[in-house]
């Protein structure tokens, strides 16, 4: 879908292209609209339907936004109506009586020729204002008997930019910040929103406060800047920080940081200072830091999973001040890695072992033993009905100061039907290692396995998968007690079919299908196996 803006001169521009993957009743902040946007449409391949008009308008229903003011400042908000037929509107506004609110005009008519009208909400915050509140503007269409409602969540700042009284929750909000934001107590919850710094400011969270950001963009307008430094509990998911002055700095971080991006920082990208062992850090993307990408300083024992760090001016990863970090399934340049003496970095990769016979059928009951370069036994497992072992974490190397210990190559020994074979393996990336045993090795009594007694669909591996994980393919294993024509169908959470694979007529036994993530958007999917009248389903997650 394309988000298309039309300005008052009639010129149109595509400002954003996206593929929505929304659950029922789920809302998503798609993009920020240009200031001269007078009309916005969502264009699809099948239909061109006007879903919204402007960032400040509605025809019916509820619109929410937030605005930040200092005491003594004037309140000015636009509420725009676009209507292509003759309609009579009545306008009203309610809020704090001390703010002297008004709306103009209080009555107007739209026609086919004059299809746009703007109602202006005005007011003033008293010099003594210390609390925010809600302004509610109503445009009642007396012709069509419907109402457009605008709710403005007002945040009041003092002269230092500290919120004197802030709401606990923002959703679907565009918040303009003129001096920053400082959370001193409780937890500030911001979802599906844009936090936009209009003047230089600080985004700060005190030690006894908390912050929850979800599906939120934090950025500064041209000529402004901001820094982000937190000491409290931070819960971040699907958050993007664009060009923070000193990056994002977390002191003794506790909480969960997932699917978070720090882009084009003027300093380090993400810095963890102090004990971070209580935190969870998963699916991080740090790009274009003007200094170092990821810095861990005095962080204790911490695991960073599924991080991608690139285009750092200095180092991608810096580990210092007695930090011990485990980098699991992380993509960055090993040449841009700095580990101070007394600190330690271990780099590891998740590996799946799939054992099949010469025809590609999964083999159950294969004993798998893995030893590192020094001969130490690190894994001992047995393949399940889908031919997989449990996911395995294999260390590539450990670095302390200038000393680097490599654990490669690994020796993988397979034992099946009384026979052994050994292969060599280098753990240098997240990988599904498929091992095919030759016919002479498995050719005992129908490969040493009885036919499945029922239809089975195993959980795909790896899961999740996609560009963010560095694993673009997943394996779907299934079992057939009798021959049949098989279809593997992928549905989104709305129940819409997005992909169908036809392995075709297959014999009784165990089979594996490889699925590529490149054609799928990020999200949760349902995988269904269809054969005869049987329908079996599993949940699958794609991260892009």
Based on the fold, state whether residues 515 and 413 are members of the same structural domain.
no
Based on the fold, state whether residues 415 and 502 are members of the same structural domain.
no
Give the chain's mean pLDDT.
82
Assign 3-state DSSP to the chain and report helix, strand, coil percentages, each to 5: 5, 55, 40
pLDDT tens by residue, 440-493:
444 433 334 567 788 988 888 788 888 877 778 888 888 888 999 999 999 988
**Within-domain flag for 469:** yes
Based on the fold, state whether residues 162 and 63 are members of the same structural domain.
yes
Which carries the bigger pLDDT value, residue 5 or residue 75?
Answer: 75
Based on the fold, state whether residues 163 and 108 are members of the same structural domain.
yes
Measured between alpha carbons, how far is 457 from 477 in angstroms, rounded to an integer? 6
**Within-domain flag for 227:** no
**Within-domain flag for 271:** no
Kindly report which listed range (31-40, 122-131, 239-248) carries the lowest average pLDDT score. Answer: 31-40
pLDDT tens by residue, 341-393:
999 999 999 998 999 887 788 888 999 999 999 899 999 999 998 889 999 99
Region 291-305: mean pLDDT is 95
Based on the fold, state whether residues 10 and 32 are members of the same structural domain.
yes
DSSP annotation of 437 reads P
pLDDT tens by residue, 132-180:
888 999 888 888 777 888 888 787 765 444 455 545 666 766 777 776 7
Based on the fold, state whether residues 391 and 418 are members of the same structural domain.
yes
Measured between alpha carbons, how far is 57 from 38 in angstroms, rounded to an integer? 9
Based on the fold, state whether residues 467 and 533 are members of the same structural domain.
yes
pLDDT at 52: 32
pLDDT at 238: 92
In 3D space, the residue among 256, 292, 293, 296 whose CA is nearest the CA of residue 274 turns out to be 296
**Within-domain flag for 314:** no
pLDDT at 488: 94
**Within-domain flag for 493:** yes
Measured between alpha carbons, how far is 317 from 56 in angstroms, rounded to an integer? 43
The domain boundary, picked from 422, 448, 474, lies at 448
Q: What is the pTM of this model?
A: 0.60
Based on the fold, state whether residues 433 and 532 are members of the same structural domain.
no
**Within-domain flag for 215:** no
Region 186-202: mean pLDDT is 84
The encoded tokens of residue 207 equal 């030690």
Which carries the bigger pLDDT value, residue 270 or residue 31?
Answer: 270
The domain boundary, picked from 122, 142, 167, lies at 167
CA atoms within 13 A on the CB side of 7: 9
pLDDT at 298: 94
In sequence order, the 6+-apart residues with CB closer than 8 A to the CB of 3 are: 14, 15, 16, 17, 18, 30, 31, 33, 40, 41, 42
Domain limits at 387? 349-448
Strands across the sheet containing 456-457: 456-457, 473-480, 509-516
Based on the fold, state whether residues 160 and 60 are members of the same structural domain.
yes
Domain count, the chain: 4
Based on the fold, state whether residues 444 and 481 are members of the same structural domain.
no
Characterize 153-187 residue by residue with b for buried, 16 or more Cβ atoms within 10 angstroms of its Cβ, and e for exposed: bbbbbeeebbbeebbeebbbbbbbbbbbbbbeeeb
**Within-domain flag for 69:** yes
The encoded tokens of residue 260 equal 């978070």
Based on the fold, state whether residues 30 and 132 are members of the same structural domain.
no
Based on the fold, state whether residues 22 and 90 are members of the same structural domain.
no
* CATH code: domain of residue 418: 2.60.40.1120
* CATH code: domain of residue 155: 2.60.40.10
Measured between alpha carbons, how far is 395 from 330 in angstroms, rounded to an integer? 12
**Within-domain flag for 290:** no
């Amino acid at each position: 879908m394309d988000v298309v803006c039309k300005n008052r001169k009639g010129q149109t521009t595509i400002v954003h292209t996206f593929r929505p993957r929304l659950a029922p009743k789920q809302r998503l902040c798609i993009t920020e609209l240009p200031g001269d946007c007078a009309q916005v449409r969502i264009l699809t391949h099948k239909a061109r339907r006007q879903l919204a008009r402007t960032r400040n308008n509605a025809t019916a229903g509820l619109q929410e936004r937030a605005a930040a003011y200092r005491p003594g400042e004037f309140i000015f908000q636009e509420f725009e109506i676009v209507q292509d037929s003759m309609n009579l509107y009545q306008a009203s506004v309610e809020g704090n009586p001390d703010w002297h609110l008004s709306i103009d005009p209080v009555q107007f008519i739209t026609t086919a020729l004059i299809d746009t009208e703007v109602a202006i909400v005005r007011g003033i915050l008293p010099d003594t204002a210390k609390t925010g509140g809600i302004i509610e503007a109503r445009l009642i269409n007396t012709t069509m008997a419907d109402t457009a409602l605008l709710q403005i969540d007002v945040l009041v700042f003092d002269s230092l930019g500290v919120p004197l009284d802030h709401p606990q929750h923002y959703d679907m909000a565009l918040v303009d910040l003129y001096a920053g934001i400082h959370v001193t107590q409780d937890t500030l919850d911001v979802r599906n929103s844009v936090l936009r710094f209009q003047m230089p400011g600080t985004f700060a969270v005190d030690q006894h406060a908390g912050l929850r950001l979800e599906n939120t963009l934090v950025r500064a307008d041209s000529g402004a800047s901001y820094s982000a430094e937190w000491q409290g509990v931070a819960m971040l998911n699907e958050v993007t920080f664009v060009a923070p002055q000193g990056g994002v700095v977390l002191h003794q971080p506790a909480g969960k940081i997932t699917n978070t991006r720090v882009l084009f920082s003027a300093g380090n990208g993400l810095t963890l200072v102090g004990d971070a062992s209580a935190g969870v850090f998963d699916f991080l993307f740090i790009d274009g830091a003007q200094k170092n990408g990821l810095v861990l300083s005095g962080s204790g024992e911490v695991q960073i999973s599924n991080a991608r760090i690139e285009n750092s001016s200095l180092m991608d990863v810096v580990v210092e001040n007695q930090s011990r970090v485990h980098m699991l399934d992380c993509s960055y340049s090993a040449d841009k890695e700095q580990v101070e003496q007394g600190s330690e970095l271990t780099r590891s990769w998740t590996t799946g072992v799939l054992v099949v016979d010469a025809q590609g059928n999964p083999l159950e009951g294969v004993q798998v033993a893995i030893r590192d370069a020094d001969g130490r036994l690190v894994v001992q497992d047995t393949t399940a009905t889908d031919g997989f072992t449990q996911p395995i974490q294999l260390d590539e190397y450990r670095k302390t100061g200038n000393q680097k210990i490599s654990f490669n190559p690994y020796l993988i020994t397979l034992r099946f039907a009384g026979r052994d074979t050994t292969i060599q393996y280098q753990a240098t990336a997240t990988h599904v290692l498929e091992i095919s045993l030759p016919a002479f090795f498995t050719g005992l009594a129908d490969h040493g396995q009885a036919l499945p007694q029922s239809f089975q669909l195993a959980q795909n591996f790896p899961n999740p998968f996609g560009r963010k994980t560095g694993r673009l393919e997943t394996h779907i294993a299934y079992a057939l007690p009798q021959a049949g024509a098989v279809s593997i169908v992928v549905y989104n959470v709305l129940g819409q079919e997005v992909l169908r694979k036809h392995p075709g007529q297959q014999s009784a036994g165990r089979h594996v299908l490889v699925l590529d993530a490149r054609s799928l958007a990020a999200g949760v999917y349902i995988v269904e196996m269809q054969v005869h009248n049987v329908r079996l389903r599993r949940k699958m997650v794609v991260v892009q």
